[in-house]
Structure 1
Amino acid sequence: MDTQLLQRGETIKLAVFDVDGVLTDGRLYFLEDGSEFKSFSTLDGQGIKMLIASGVATAIISGRKSPVVERRANNLGIAHLFQGREDKLVVLDGLLAELGLSYEQVAYLGDDLPDLPVIRRVGLGMAVANAAPFVREHAHGVTQARGGEGAAREFCELILRAQGNLDTALAAYL
């Protein structure tokens, strides 16, 4: 495990996720009636639940708007949901003011250019394995897993490990 990433993860109080390409594989599925569906990983969901249980707040900031994302966020207990927002840094500014947190206390997981301003600004800015090359190049770290295939779980476990909470989180299932 990268020591620098673990050090960055020690002070994280808020973990923020993009959706398409991070919590999903990035594919958009549209039905004939105009509705859409998305596929989410249960592994990612469990990682997010463990992170929340450890006391880290969570948020989603997505450029697209979808009722499916709202349902997923509610199912996982993600308290802060922002959809239809490409200006992710502006959204994060408002959320930090509301929560009384600093950028250094934020971890962000993204995959494409709209995520890059946040990735570069926060304490722990990461990209998924299949992120755009330019985004991977400017992130603090890159997950081994692809978006929608365990990348968020890996990200959550990194934060839990950095804060000394991973063993406790896993022990609850033994």
Structure 2
Amino acid sequence: MNALELFKKVKAFVFDIDGVLTNGDVLILPDEHLIMARSMNTKDGYAIQMAIKQGFSVAIISGGKESGAEKRLEYLGIQHIFMGISDKKKCFDDYLQKSGLQQDSVLYMGDDIPDFEVMQTAGIRTCPADAVTEIKNLAQYISSFKGGSGCVRDVIEKTLKLQGHWPLHTTVKTI
């Protein structure tokens, strides 16, 4: 089954933050306080809002604990935000159980080793173009976009278009 066929089954999206919603860079400034500055792509944000408006569940599972990132995600309308998670697989399984979702209808996007166990079991496994090799080897779809540069928009837009939920009447070309 090709990736586009898998996207037709998606009912929920689960994303990592660093390396997926951001480019994974950390800005370090000479200061007495540690400043963890990151940036998120507005096109990814638009797609997340569109998915939520169309009734898709969107969740975040991250090892990071940045309150600024959490505020941004809440602003986008994401209700399932799990921060400071050391066992992403357990968190993913708990989220599925509490939400009543089947894992084969959940798209997961991760980029690095902490995502490995979730990537092994998620129904639809995706990653950004710049994910590590181990994650790329598990992915059923590798976005042509890097983390923080539209990879989230890529998978959401493809899914919504294939399911007839994208606001413009366009189609997805075969991969």
TM superposition score normalised by structure 1:
0.90
CA RMSD of aligned residues (A): 1.4
Instruction: Letter of the 2:143 partner, please give it.
Output: T
Identity value in percent: 37
- Distance, in Å, in 1 between the alignment partners of 2:41 and 2:84 is 22
Per the TM alignment, residue 97 of structure 1 is displaced from its structure 2 partner at its CA by 1.1
Q: Which of the numbers 25, 28, 34 marks the counterpart of 1:27? A: 25
Higher helix share: 1
Q: Which of the numbers 2, 6, 11 marks the counterpart of 1:8? A: 6
Q: Which residue of 1 aligns with 2:173?
A: none
Q: Which residue of 2 aligns with 1:104?
A: 104
- Secondary structure of 2:168's counterpart equals helix
Per the TM alignment, residue 5 of structure 1 is displaced from its structure 2 partner at its CA by 1.3
Per the TM alignment, residue 134 of structure 1 is displaced from its structure 2 partner at its CA by 1.6
Per the TM alignment, residue 17 of structure 1 is displaced from its structure 2 partner at its CA by 0.5
Deviations 1:5-59 (A, max 9, x none): 1221222221001000100010012442113221110011011111111111001
List gaps (5 residues or longer) in structure 1: none
| Number of matched pairs | 167
* Partners of 1:125 and 1:141 within 8 A in 2: yes
Q: Which residue of 1 aligns with 2:149?
A: 149
Q: How does 1:19-58 map to 2 (within 5 A)?
A: 19-31=17-29, 32=31, 33-58=33-58
Instruction: Letter of the 1:156 partner, please give it.
Output: I
- Distance, in Å, in 1 between the alignment partners of 2:41 and 2:168 is 18
Q: Which 4+ runs in 1 deviate beyond 3 A? A: none
* Partners of 1:6 and 1:161 within 8 A in 2: no
